[in-house]
Amino acid sequence: MKTEGEIGKPLPRIDALEKATGVASFTTDLKLPGMLHAKVLRSPYPHARIVSIDTAEAEKLPGVRAVATYENTTECCFNSSCSEANPPAVPVEDEQIFNRELRYVGDEVAAVAADTEETAKRALELIRVEYEELPAVFDPLEALKPDAPAVHPCFIGNNIAGMAKLPMGDLEKGFAESDIILEEQFKLPVVKHCQLETQAAVADYSASGHLTVWSTTQSPHPLKNLLAKLFGMPASRVRVLNPPYIGGAFGSHVGMSGKAEPIAAALAMLAGKPVRFVYDRKEDFIASTTRHSGYITVKLGAKRDGSFQALYLNAVLNTGGYANAGPDVTAVLGVTNISIYQIPNVFYDGLCVYTNTTTAGAMRGFGNPQGNFAVESTVDMMAERLGMDPMELRLKNTMTPYAPWLPPYPCATCGLAECMEKGAQKIGWADRDSLLKNPGHGKVRGIGMAAGTHVSNSWPFAVEFDNAYLAVMEDGSANLAVGVPDMGQGIATTLSQVAASSLGIPMDQVSIVFGDTASTPYDIGSHASRTLYSAGTAVEAAGRDAKQKILEFAAEQLKTEPETLTLENGMILADGEPRMTMGEAAHLIHRANRQIIGIGQTVPFNAPPWHAHFAEVEVDMETGQIEVLHLAAAHDVGRAINPDIVEGQIHGSVLQGIGYALSEQIVYDKKGRQAQDSFHKYYLPTMLETPDIDVILVETNEPSGPFGAKGVGECGLVPTAAAIANAVYHATGIRFHEIPITEEKMLDAIKKKEKE
Amino acid sequence: MKTEGEIGKPLPRIDALEKATGVASFTTDLKLPGMLHAKVLRSPYPHARIVSIDTAEAEKLPGVRAVATYENTTECCFNSSCSEANPPAVPVEDEQIFNRELRYVGDEVAAVAADTEETAKRALELIRVEYEELPAVFDPLEALKPDAPAVHPCFIGNNIAGMAKLPMGDLEKGFAESDIILEEQFKLPVVKHCQLETQAAVADYSASGHLTVWSTTQSPHPLKNLLAKLFGMPASRVRVLNPPYIGGAFGSHVGMSGKAEPIAAALAMLAGKPVRFVYDRKEDFIASTTRHSGYITVKLGAKRDGSFQALYLNAVLNTGGYANAGPDVTAVLGVTNISIYQIPNVFYDGLCVYTNTTTAGAMRGFGNPQGNFAVESTVDMMAERLGMDPMELRLKNTMTPYAPWLPPYPCATCGLAECMEKGAQKIGWADRDSLLKNPGHGKVRGIGMAAGTHVSNSWPFAVEFDNAYLAVMEDGSANLAVGVPDMGQGIATTLSQVAASSLGIPMDQVSIVFGDTASTPYDIGSHASRTLYSAGTAVEAAGRDAKQKILEFAAEQLKTEPETLTLENGMILADGEPRMTMGEAAHLIHRANRQIIGIGQTVPFNAPPWHAHFAEVEVDMETGQIEVLHLAAAHDVGRAINPDIVEGQIHGSVLQGIGYALSEQIVYDKKGRQAQDSFHKYYLPTMLETPDIDVILVETNEPSGPFGAKGVGECGLVPTAAAIANAVYHATGIRFHEIPITEEKMLDAIKKKEKE
């Protein structure tokens, strides 16, 4: 990889030492003078109406400072993901801090703030609630039936929270011209983010009427606006900030962190004291957003030569009790999965459906992993039907730059073919059929692959812009202020590299302020793999702006034209000759009564990252256990600003993909209760399940991205499940239409196959 | 007073409720996890060299985490006032964190950080220091003698830390053409600021190499630069902030707060833990800056008609052990006191002299009160010699706009005559000689006056510029970020009014971030009566910039030209007709993917505020007690942005002026020890000494100031002592050439006069 300033260097993360030594500060670490602790009473029913609620006994308990219910909090309706979807989508505002009608087991009924957590817990037991149980529905296909219980009143059909219809070409004609048509149905599970830090907020309402909320949110600025609206305050009086670290998020804290922020804020206002509210792990599992489960149908038509003619993709996603990001997720599932290949005739039909399960929302991949599992399993089956090598089939149809496609922005760069070729080489694809398929001990091995694409941003699907300040100090160092949070992905480091390189100074001269609405300009938050791609454009612009101003000043000093000057690594050069250090220039500017402030204000574009994953698995035919031995993950990231951080992102998301493929799921019992509500019951991959992961970075230099970068944060999760399922098929000849492929399912299928 | 937006309205201070309810946070309130407490060992000698220092026993004491001395801290020399004087002045950098040679009783020798304050104190007793005593000098006239001990080696004469020579016209000719020439000598005492909160800092040095210092500083940004230089770090890695409040300052925290910041920082780096260092009151008295004491000679020549012909002003100021702001104070004394009247021939000759007393530095008025007492006492004497009414004499000579004068900027506005006329009316000047001069009980009464001027800024005497961000929120409210601290003067409120009015929204829609180097652009700090005048220009510019951008957007929406639109009180009007609210416009801008950010970057000018004080006093001829009965303070403030805050500033500074005139002083014994080192020994005026204070605001709409405002923060102190001394003369016929006029001095003088 070519470096350019600090771009392309695997520099250590600026938060590494603080995190390694345990002194980094997270929301749960905060202690304010007089701070109270909050606990929440949650619905025991999947669907019920509150008939009456009596908090008198709870309020009498010594140490209880405030009890909040729907009776003393705002009626204002909102969408806790802070969705600002653009037309034709519309943000669905169907939640209240405390809903009058409860729509899943765990829905918020009341909250208590007390001197200690123990007192708050005891107070919950003293709240008397009379519920009227209502009929419930848990499956989205059931919920669509005309006689299903209505989770919400909906205008466009029973329990439909949102829909997306994306047409291109003539689907009927496409299928008519196809030689082979496959139609497959897939079922996807509910899974959870399992970020280390649960939803947390500390709220302080000052005597002067300013609300400050420290929290785990991934979107401080949009949340600031939402809290202002909820509490009827000017947005400038609300400050939302990360403290500054977040212990992971993966989408679970897009907008609100569960309801940690509004509940802490409401209690702080009622009690007149700061309030801390930290979800316990059970609350995280049952009462914060999940990945959307659902049903996906893929109908794919191809000619005998392998050229795809038509793709019909249908998704019915279960968004649970509230819409949250569901309509947006439904759209992204379609946009991403009809865009991997050049197919002249496509149609995506997505439905987002309410049920009485935990609300689903944003989770790394945002619908894409669901669709990818379905589409890439089907492509694998098509290859078999065509008698073609699965990679050959994919290469034949792969997207190329500026080919027609459905997204409302061009595909300017596409390294998918290169990803496939390099990944194939790494995994030994060419020899996969001569692979030692039977290593003994009743085990079989196989290699599978899957390809995918994603977005780098939410533009133009939602409100999308970014801003950055880059203030140059008297000594030539610089302070970057940008509104994004760093939820653990290392963005503070990467954006500092962008700032340093754009301005032309070394990385150690840049400091960064982030995740604080009071000290940074607006940013829509960290999600959609957008943070580097999108905020990076504003940071790069701010750096360029500052550099230009410095060179103009230096040109005056050096009696030359700014165009003849460059600023590199802290040195101003004229025609390549060092003339003045940045520190000297900055000091002179300071003494000339001026601070150089670079301003970046951008409306970032969008661009597709590309990825091909290759998995080698070993299946124990006696136990059904599946082990991923090796995973080669080739990614077109546009440009790797910090290769170590990019690799880290891909490693983590591959692991989440392995869990998605093989072990993770939440199921509901007949009373709508979540069977998995702890790490003991929910099977995350551990180090034991971690394969050798080879990350291959492909650089295509996306013209719309900062220094050529595209999104990467979510991508490693996207094709992992399909690659593994395809490898399982390669090893065993057994095709799964449902994940996770647990040991039980695998063993059942092996037995079933043996009987055939 | 005419209002304009929120300008001219006596709005409540935004910090009022927090301060009244006791929840406002000051440096001394901060508690960080693992925080240590610091104590300092101070020199018992006025002048000594450290021969050896042994900290071994102190380090062994359980609970001691670090001991700092000159042996393990930087040798780097600095000026703790962060002076950035422009040529011909030069910042004198004559201090180190721990000086090898000690130059006053209280100079820092060593510092200890320990788990508790008690342990730190005990550790100080275990530090063994061998001192070599050196000859000391305490009086600046003595210090100038060739054989005086050298406090510092100086190039331009013995113990001269700085000088100012300001000539205009032909002095010799001026005196030659004068009919009457008076030459008077005056002596000024050492006094202290007596701000409520002592010097305090909490320093945290992070694992990632970032230094954060919360402190009482009046100049966060310059101090950030200085700390970076001291500790060899990029300035962007140092963050200095107020937390956010300061319990008063009055100049005592210009730059460093004593040495609280560097000592806390050095200890934090040595100990690897956060360190809190809060001066006790004794340390505040003996080891933080004082007002300059000294000697002033005034030679004034006038024609018989009262027209002043020549003024020679000579000041010898005692800056104590280190230069600090002394050279700057010396210059300001001259600039301000030769500019009250139109005098064709003037010469100011100022010397700033080292002695072995506590370092003198910035204190409200910055040299001006010293000079004013001398000049305005002399003018009073001249009136008597001429047989003229003192006000008549002053009115005859008063400065007028654009008249020739010495400061390097024009006098664009001058309300001094109006101040005199309105103040005179309020005090009953016309009847002063028919006043009940003998109210009985051995008491006599008199009325005196004094006039003065000041600066509104430090331009062009020092590096001077200002910046502001004004970020408009999605709902049309706005967040102002500006680098000034609010040390209690209410500037956060006043600047919010400027922002609101400049942008065109109501005050309650504006929030403000201040006193934090990480989240605000550069500002040189709060001093020189500059904060509103100077930062206000940047805030006003930022508001205009944001307004212009909003009106451009609105014009597009309304299909008109921006010039036809105005934005007032949150409403966009076309030709005076309401068309769109600010909230609507801001929301549309947000949905159009944009944040409006107003940027203000200014090099503020300078402008003279004007003031005339009239005091009525009652002298008890039997005890010598002097009571100020009534004080009328008329001030040309340009424009009173918030009249209540302006009045508050004047009330407070008048009180300090009364203390200066009558009771406050620190004297040194023969061993250089401060006799007054507590509020028990140092006589501040209390409520009992507070007269009726009438504030009269005169508005001249200074064109260079924000909405016409000029400086006001220091002005109430300037002419108070002279007005009182002149009133004492009017009452008793006794003229004092020295303040404070204590009961003892008054009684001695009465007795002496009775003997004559």
User: B472 to chain A, minimum CA–CA distance in Å?
Assistant: 8
Among A511, A517, A534, A597, pick the best mutation site for testing chain B contact (most B Cβ within 10 A).
A511
Partners of residue B234 in chain A, C-beta under 8 Å:
473, 475, 477, 508-509, 511
Partners of residue A459 in chain B, C-beta under 8 Å:
593
DSSP secondary structure letters along B583-619: HHHHHHHHHTT---EEEEEE-------EEEEEEEEEE
Residue of A nearest to B602 (CA): A594
Partners of residue B84 in chain A, C-beta under 8 Å:
591
The beta-carbon neighbor of B595 closest among A23, A237, A467 is A467
Is pLDDT at B220 greater than 80 in this prediction?
yes
Residue of A nearest to B475 (CA): A235
Give the helix, strand, coil percentages of chain B, each rounded to 5: 30, 25, 40
> What pLDDT digit, counting tens, does each position of A187-239 carry?
999 999 999 999 999 999 999 999 999 999 999 999 999 999 999 999 999 99
Pairing outcome for strands A345-354 and A443-453: unpaired
DSSP state for residue B292 in the 8-state scheme: P
Q: Burial-class residue B230 by CB neighbours within 10 Å (0-12, 13-18, 19+).
A: buried
- Sorted by where each begins, the domain ranges of chain A are 16-23+465-602, 31-134+196-248+253-287, 293-458+606-755
DSSP secondary structure letters along A46-83: SSEEEEEEE-HHHHHSTTEEEEE-TTSS----B-TT--
Partners of residue A209 in chain B, C-beta under 8 Å:
17
Do B287 and B102 touch, CB atoms closer than 8 A? no
Partners of residue B543 in chain A, C-beta under 8 Å:
none
Q: Do B236 and A478 touch (CB under 8 A)?
A: yes
Query: Could you count the other beta carbons within 10 Å of the beta carbon of residue A623?
Result: 13
Do A525 and A484 touch, CB atoms closer than 8 A? yes
> What pLDDT digit, counting tens, does each position of A399-456 carry?
999 999 999 999 999 999 999 999 999 999 999 988 777 788 899 999 999 999 999 9
Is pLDDT at B3 greater than 70 in this prediction?
yes
Q: Do B236 and A510 touch (CB under 8 A)?
A: yes
User: Which amino acid makes up residue A469?
Assistant: Y
Partners of residue B208 in chain A, C-beta under 8 Å:
14-18
Do A681 and A503 touch, CB atoms closer than 8 A? no
pLDDT score at A3: 82
> What pLDDT digit, counting tens, does each position of B499-509 carry?
999 999 999 99
Partners of residue B268 in chain A, C-beta under 8 Å:
none
Q: Do A511 and B210 touch (CB under 8 A)?
A: yes
- Percent pLDDT > 90 in chain B is 96
Q: Determine the average pLDDT of the residues in A100-115.
A: 98
Q: Do domains B16-23+465-602 and B293-458+606-755 have the same CATH topology?
A: yes
pLDDT band at B1 (very low <50, low <70, confident <90, very high): low
User: A491 to chain B, minimum CA–CA distance in Å?
Assistant: 16
Q: Do B510 and A236 touch (CB under 8 A)?
A: yes
Cα angle for residues A618, A623, A627 (degrees, 5° grid): 25
Q: Where are the beta strands (DSSP E) in B206-344?
A: 211-215, 238-241, 275-278, 293-302, 308-320
- Report the C-alpha gap between B608 and B573 in whole angstroms: 37
- Report the C-alpha gap between B555 and B76 in whole angstroms: 57
Cα angle for residues B593, B594, B596 (degrees, 5° grid): 165
> What pLDDT digit, counting tens, does each position of A609-664 carry?
999 999 999 999 999 999 999 999 999 999 999 999 999 999 999 999 999 999 99
Q: Do B17 and A207 touch (CB under 8 A)?
A: yes
Q: Where are the beta strands (DSSP E) in A321-412?
A: 345-354
How many inter-chain contacts (A to B, CB under 8 Å) are there? 158
User: A207 to chain B, minimum CA–CA distance in Å?
Assistant: 5
Q: Do A513 and B519 touch (CB under 8 A)?
A: yes
Q: Do B234 and A16 touch (CB under 8 A)?
A: no
**β-pair partners for B349:** B165, B314
Q: Do A595 and B521 touch (CB under 8 A)?
A: yes
User: B18 to chain A, minimum CA–CA distance in Å?
Assistant: 5
| Domain A31-134+196-248+253-287 = CATH 3.30.499.10 | no
pLDDT score at B434: 83
Unique residue bearing structure tokens 């063994």: B128
pLDDT score at A368: 98
User: A224 to chain B, minimum CA–CA distance in Å?
Assistant: 10
Q: Do A208 and B473 touch (CB under 8 A)?
A: no
Closest CA to A317 of A337, A341, A300, A342: A337
> What pLDDT digit, counting tens, does each position of B712-749 carry?
999 999 999 999 999 999 999 999 999 999 999 999 99
Among A19, A221, A474, pick the best mutation site for testing chain B contact (most B Cβ within 10 A).
A474
> What pLDDT digit, counting tens, does each position of A704-753 carry?
999 999 999 999 999 999 999 999 999 999 999 999 999 999 999 999 99
User: Which amino acid makes up residue A75?
Assistant: E
Q: Do B464 and A593 touch (CB under 8 A)?
A: yes
> What pLDDT digit, counting tens, does each position of B589-631 carry?
999 999 999 999 999 999 999 999 999 999 999 999 999 999 9
Q: Do A475 and B597 touch (CB under 8 A)?
A: no
Fold category of B293-458+606-755 in CATH: Aldehyde Oxidoreductase; domain 4 (3.30.365)
Residue of A nearest to B20 (CA): A207
User: A71 to chain B, minimum CA–CA distance in Å?
Assistant: 27
> Which element (helix H / strand E) includes A201?
strand A200-205
pLDDT band at A1 (very low <50, low <70, confident <90, very high): low
- Report the C-alpha gap between B661 and B606 in whole angstroms: 29
Q: Do A464 and B15 touch (CB under 8 A)?
A: no
Q: Do B237 and A511 touch (CB under 8 A)?
A: yes
- Report the C-alpha gap between B659 and B689 in whole angstroms: 9
Is pLDDT at B668 greater than 70 in this prediction?
yes
Q: Determine the average pLDDT of the residues in A496-514.
A: 98
Residue of A nearest to B15 (CA): A208
Partners of residue B207 in chain A, C-beta under 8 Å:
17-18, 20-21, 23
Q: Do A477 and B235 touch (CB under 8 A)?
A: yes
Q: Do A511 and B234 touch (CB under 8 A)?
A: yes
Fold category of B16-23+465-602 in CATH: Aldehyde Oxidoreductase; domain 4 (3.30.365)
The side-by-side arrangement of strands in the sheet containing B577-581 is B565-568, B571-574, B577-581
Residue of B nearest to A602 (CA): B594
Closest CA to A293 of A353, A381, A383: A353
For residue A252, the SS3 value is coil
User: A406 to chain B, minimum CA–CA distance in Å?
Assistant: 23
> Which element (helix H / strand E) includes B735?
none
pLDDT band at A351 (very low <50, low <70, confident <90, very high): very high
> What pLDDT digit, counting tens, does each position of A675-712 carry?
999 999 999 999 999 999 999 999 999 999 999 999 99
Computed from CA positions of residues B669, B673, B678, B683, in that sequence, does the dihedral angle turn out positive or negative?
positive
ipTM of this complex: 0.96
Question: What b-and-e string marks burial along B309-335, b requiring 16 or more CB atoms within 10 Å of the CB?
Answer: bbbbbbbbbbbbbbbbbbbbbbbbbbb
The beta-carbon neighbor of A518 closest among B208, B464, B479 is B479
Partners of residue B589 in chain A, C-beta under 8 Å:
none
Among B474, B545, B591, pick the best mutation site for testing chain A contact (most A Cβ within 10 A).
B474
- Report the C-alpha gap between A303 and A708 in whole angstroms: 36
Partners of residue B510 in chain A, C-beta under 8 Å:
236
Mean pLDDT of chain B: 97
The beta-carbon neighbor of A595 closest among B14, B467, B473 is B467
Residue of B nearest to A516 (CA): B519
Q: Do B590 and A475 touch (CB under 8 A)?
A: no
Partners of residue B581 in chain A, C-beta under 8 Å:
none
> What pLDDT digit, counting tens, does each position of A259-269 carry?
999 999 999 99
